[in-house]
Structure 1
Amino acid sequence: MVRAVLDGNMESSQYEDTMREMFGIEAYQLFTMDKVVQNIVRQVQHLVMDDTPSRLTKLFEEQREKSGAGGRWATRHQRAAVEQSYQRQAEAILVDDNPFKFIFRSLTAQMEIDMLDPPPESNDSVKETSTWSSYLNDYSTNKTNEEFLHRVGNSRAIYLFRNKRKNPFWKDFKKQHDSSVKEDKDDEEEEEDEDED
């Protein structure tokens, strides 16, 4: 009857009713069997049709030949580097997915499932973040702005003189710049006088 349901010759509701009539309460395991088999078939179709599972299967077969995909528990330290390489290659294939690591221990009949951590962020992103935060910090402090304006004032202008005269900012800037240049000249003259003495 399960085969008839899977082939499409019998509907699942009719199969469920038949199983309940035949076995009563214990029929639960039988009429859920068709759902389990359907899910297994769906998963197998996914494995065959999708590119990622086929690439992972191929990688597994390659690593199995190199003893990188398992072996005796007592010799695991000898193949640790090969298994680590296999794990990195599998993670590269599963970039957008959460990879899991399955460890089977046949002697104790145990299975361990570990969700692997995503690879750490590169130092470039940390460096960019620190550079950006230092930029924001420098931009928001007056000291840096004053240093910038002083440097701009000492450098040759890259704007047209007519635009400078029209903009009120530059009038205030010129007053500040002239006073700072005068102070710098006074300081230099004092230093020269001290050097002569």
Structure 2
Amino acid sequence: MPSKSCNVVVLLSGSGSNLQALIDSCAVPDSAVRIGAVISNRADAYGLQRAAAAGIDTAVLDHTGFQGREAFDAALVACIDGFAPDLVVLAGFMRILSGDFVRHYQGRLLNIHPSLLPRYKGLHTHRRALEAGDVEHGCSVHFVTEELDGGPLVVQAVVPVAPDDTVQSLAQRVHTQEHVIYPMAVHWFANGRLRLGEQGALLDGQPLSASGHLIRS
């Protein structure tokens, strides 16, 4: 285990349920994770209230005040780096990030996506899974690269799709698994077990499969 804590900065745009799961996961003795700051592009994001309630520093950077993505991302990098993070975690951050941003944090930028990647990149994943008649759905934690929702996979949680599932019922079960696997991946990183190698994600020094570490509920 590392001798110092891993300083994590979380980016979000909404309710922050994955942030809350991460906060809760840190409430154990000798946790290697320290959430140094939560940054949002929306001042009304409920995740900021969750952070404040946990005594975590917050910042708001409104993307509408910038001339284009590159200008916003440059300001965002400056804001994040002010907190000196070891890891940056995207937790429902509803912005497509520029190549410069992604390269700046290469190997220390994680995202969670509500599908079994590489299936259903982008939006409306639960509806798309139901419309396709899938028997399994789930969520994925991956390192972020310049390909949207396309970076090396770390861990995936698989949930069965029930015949009577709706978008809402399926989303709820997937969210439950998100709150399990995202803290797991962050703690792996903080404890020095997870890193990004030249050929993909490595766990305990061993290459993960193309689908990452699989968990079935």
Per the normalisation by structure 1, the TM-score is 0.21
Whichever structure has more helix as a proportion of its residues is 1
Higher relative contact order (CA 8 A, sep 6+): 2
Q: Rg: which structure is higher? A: 1
More strand by share: 2
